[in-house]
Amino acid sequence: MSKKYRIAVVGAGMGGLLAATMLQRAGHACTVYEQAPRLNKVGAGINIAPNSTRIFRELGLERQMQAAGIRPRLKFSRAWNTGELLFTVPVPEMQERYGAPFQAFHRGALQEVLYRTLPAGTVQFGRRLAQMTQQPDEVHLDFEDGASAMADIVIGADGVHSRVREILFGVAPADYHGLVAYRALIRNSHLRPADNTKWWAPDRYVLVYYTTEARDEINLVTGSPQPWTHGDYQPRPASVDDLLATFGDFHEEVQEVLKAATEITCWPMLERDPFSPWSSGRAVLLGDACHPTTPHMGQGAGMAFEDAVVLARCIDEFPDPGVAFQRYESARYARTARIQRDSHANEWTKKDMDADWVYGYDAMTVALE
């Protein structure tokens, strides 16, 4: 029988919530500490590919996931100015090939599903990590509100600006990719764009897709080169004028979507070169905390989901945390590094290409090397 731990997960993003679900199901006492005062239900859309939806199917969450989002019929790549069709993906064929669906969500709806899998009280809100002190057999966590906690294992699932990572390895800001992403939602619109379409220009793109089965909410996300002149790498409010100034020469169908956009924000695309180690002592990193990537492949959340599953399996299988963390990193490093490199190149879905290595991966069964 595996040893059962007190585990502190820092960060209630999707990777942290899934890690807590996996660990609690394995019998560990798991608490999630989130700096925000409540679950953040605002945000934009997110595409989840078969390598992620397979996890939720195997956890018995497929019904909740299907109700929370939409399964598009087709994915299109089009030329930015003429609308010429560059590439089409029949989404139902993806499900047949990989045994799991492709699905789009509002981020808040997906996060809500994951949050509701956990017992009440598992997530403690308003807990911003201030300091963490490791002892031979446990870790002491101090929070900015004066609260404290003890744990046998700490999982840093606190994103690209990870405080856990800073404590373990020092302050090292993520790299600005040179591109920004405008994100927006369009609700209750008369617009009826085609399913899940990415419009490609030589140095820019616009991605448009529905986030609900009722097709009453459209997500817009873009990528374009732009200097970041602000003092930090936090998202900023933006406007329709900003969108039109950057993408005003795109196809008229794109123009209609841009003009209808609301709740617009501008995000710097941040990344890091692959680095090692991901752990120190009794603390380990997960998701964007250790391998942030650009959004071009739609695999940022997917890598966090896979990390959560593989890490939970390693903790459950190897009684020594140091060994568990080494096996986890060994099983995950090459894959996440390749995702980082390929996402940086931004060629994904522009043309037909081998997707088996991405979508065919099964975190539940991959060897723990």
Catalytic residue positions? 209
- Per-residue model confidence as pLDDT tens digits over 28-58: 999 999 999 998 766 688 999 999 999 999 9
Looking at the DSSP bridge assignments, the partners of residue 47 are 104
**pLDDT recorded at residue 70:** 94
Would you give the DSSP letter of residue 70? B
| C-beta atoms surrounding 191 within 10 Å | 13
Q: What percent of the chain has pLDDT over 90?
A: 80
Are 10 and 102 in contact, with CB atoms under 8 Å apart?
no
Angle (nearest 5°) at CA 201 between 71 and 221: 40
**pLDDT recorded at residue 345:** 83
Is the bond leading into 277 cis (omega within 30 degrees of zero)? yes
What strands, in cross-sheet order, belong to the sheet with 279-280?
Answer: 123-125, 29-34, 6-10, 153-156, 283-285, 279-280
Q: What percent of the chain has pLDDT over 70?
A: 98
User: How far is residue 268 CA from its own chain's centroid?
Assistant: 15
Rounded CA gap, 321 and 152, in Å? 9
Q: What is the 3-state secondary structure (H, E, C) of 226-254?
A: CCCCCCCCCCEECCHHHHHHHHCCCCHHH
Query: Exposed, middle or buried: residue 18 (CB in 10 Å: 0-12, 13-18, 19+)?
Result: buried
- Per-residue model confidence as pLDDT tens digits over 164-179: 999 999 988 888 989 9
Q: Please name each of the domains of the chain with its CATH number.
A: 6-72+102-173+272-359 (3.50.50.60), 176-270 (3.30.9.30)
Looking at the DSSP bridge assignments, the partners of residue 203 are none
pLDDT at 348 over 90: no
Are 199 and 250 in contact, with CB atoms under 8 Å apart?
yes
pLDDT at 7 over 90: yes
What pTM does this model have? 0.94
**pLDDT recorded at residue 195:** 81
pLDDT at 1 over 60: no
Average of per-residue pLDDT across 204-230: 93
| C-beta atoms surrounding 241 within 10 Å | 10
Stated as kind and residue range, the H or E segment containing 49 is none
User: What is the distance in angstroms between the CA of the first residue and the CA of the last residue of the chain?
Assistant: 20
